Amino acid sequence: MKKLSARRRHPLAAVVVLLLALAATGGLYAAFAPADKAQAEETAQSLAIDEGKKLYSVGCSSCHGTGGQGGSDGPSLVGVGSAAVDFQVSTGRMPAQQPGAQVPKKKAIYSQAEIDQLSAYIASLGAGPVTPTEKQYNPEGADIGKGGELFRNNCAQCHNFTGQGGALTHGKYAPNLADVSPKHIYEAMQTGPQNMPSFPDTTMPEQQKRDIIGYLQSVNSEKADNPGGLTLGGLGPVSEGLFAWIFGLGALIGVAVWVAARTAKARKS
């Protein structure tokens, strides 16, 4: 200590102290900087939740309650997860237009950014299915044959053999799945919207969901090829019967009238 004390008035002492101070500051900065970054992310998340909460208060709270606890007009949203919000709001089903047997699909009124904020808020209320990433629902490389079998086993009862939709009780219905985006199909299976049962990963793993999406794209989308010609709605014998009566028998009766009208006339000579 004496040595150090003796040199404290050395002309270079100030330089050494300055260097030490700089090193300490830099070291401290380096040590604390990541913590600062983490705090910034948390702020962004809480910002999204805050924004989502504002959107929620305006657009959703009248039915689902001010804190998402549900009410007489809408179910509790605690634990439904961001996937449910993304599905309901980006297919336009929510916010609902009017009460009825079932809330129909319509034009989405929130932007994707707003939907993400809403999702963040609802997700903050309780853990639930998370909005899937593209890797999860992309049907590329799916086993279409397996998907068809799974579809017939789990979905066709309500959605028809190729997902053309079907009737449920009291005006409810399973919608047509033609050209529904893979993300929405995935989310619907994950969350079970409205009358649909949910198929969580424990009962239907990700790969099987992808197979089903792949199957649907191959039989009920713009890309689907119909080797037999017009599918007549893919509804089966009812539309086929109607077609046979109107265009089959109708045309034949027309032909019969035409043939009968052209009768051989006795030639006068």
Partner 1 sequence: MSTEETKTAPAADSGRKAPAGERVADWADGRLGIYGLAKANMRKIFPDHWSFMLGEICLYSFIIIILTGVYLTLFFHPSMNEVEYHGSYIPMQGQLVSEAFNSTMHISFDVRGGLLIRQIHHWAALIFVAAMLVHMMRVFFTGAFRKPREVNWVFGFLLLVLGMFTGFTGYSLPDDLLSGTGVRFMQGAILSVPVVGTYLSMFLFGGEFPGGDFVARFYSIHILLLPGIMLGLLVAHLILVFYHKHTQFAGPGKTNKNVVGMPLLPVYMAKAGGFFFLVFGVIAVVAAVASINPIWAIGPYRPDMVGTGAQPDWYMGFSEGLIRVMPGWEINLWGHTLVLGVFIPLIIFPLVLVSIAVYPFIESWVTGDKREHHILDRPRNAPTRTAFGVAWLTWYFVLLVGGGNDIWATHFNLSINAITWFVRIAFFVAPVLAFVATKRICLGLQRRDKDKVLHGRESGIIKRLPHGEFIEVHEPLSQEDLHTLTAHEQYEPVAIGATTDENGVERKVSASQKLRAKLSEGYYGEDNQIPKPTADEYKEITSGHGHH
Q: What are the φ and ψ backbone dihedral angles of 54, each rounded to 5 degrees?
A: -65, -45
Residue with tokens 């929130």: 110
Residue 60 annotated as binding?
yes
96 binds partner 1 per the rule CB under 8 A: no
Interface with partner 1 includes 234 (CB under 8 A)? yes
Q: How far apart are CA 269 and CA 264, in angstroms?
A: 15
H or E element that contains 174 = strand 173-174
Q: Is 155 annotated as a binding residue?
A: yes
Residue 139 in the binding site for partner 1 (CB under 8 A): no
Q: Would you count residue 228 as binding partner 1 (CB under 8 A)? A: yes
Q: Determine, following the binding rule CB under 8 A, whether residue 144 of this chain makes contact with partner 1.
A: yes
CB of 73 to partner 1, least distance (A): 21
- The nearest distance, CB 237 to partner 1, in angstroms, is 5
On the question of a cis peptide bond just before residue 95, with omega within 30 degrees of 0, the verdict is: yes
Residues 6+ apart with CB under 8 A from 148: 215, 219
Question: Interface with partner 1 by CB under 8 A: which range of 16-24, 34-42, 49-57, 170-178?
Answer: 170-178
Please identify, among the stretches 27-35, 55-63, 69-77, 213-221, the one whose residues bind partner 1 according to the rule CB under 8 A: 213-221
Query: Binding of partner 1 at residue 98 (CB under 8 A)?
Result: no
Least Cα distance to 94 among 59, 53, 62, 132 occurs for 59
Q: How far apart are CA 252 and CA 229, in angstroms?
A: 20
Known binder of ligand: residue 64? yes
Annotated ligand binding at 184? The verdict is: no
Nearest approach, Cβ of 40 to partner 1 (angstroms)?
A: 49
Per the structure block, which two tokens stand in for 189?
Answer: 């299976």
How far apart, in whole angstroms, are the C-alpha atoms of residue 17 and residue 22?
A: 9
Q: Exactly one of 84, 89, 174, 213 binds partner 1 (CB under 8 A); which one?
A: 174
Shortest separation between residue 157's beta carbon and partner 1, angstroms:
6
Closest C-alpha to 136, from 217, 201, 219, 216: 201
The answer to whether the CB of 56 falls within 8 A of the CB of 122 is: yes
Residues tagged in the binding site annotation for heme c: 60, 63-64, 155, 158-159
Binding site for partner 1 (CB under 8 A): 101, 143-149, 152-153, 156-162, 164-171, 173-174, 215, 218-219, 226-232, 234-245, 247-249, 251-253, 255-257, 259-261, 263-264
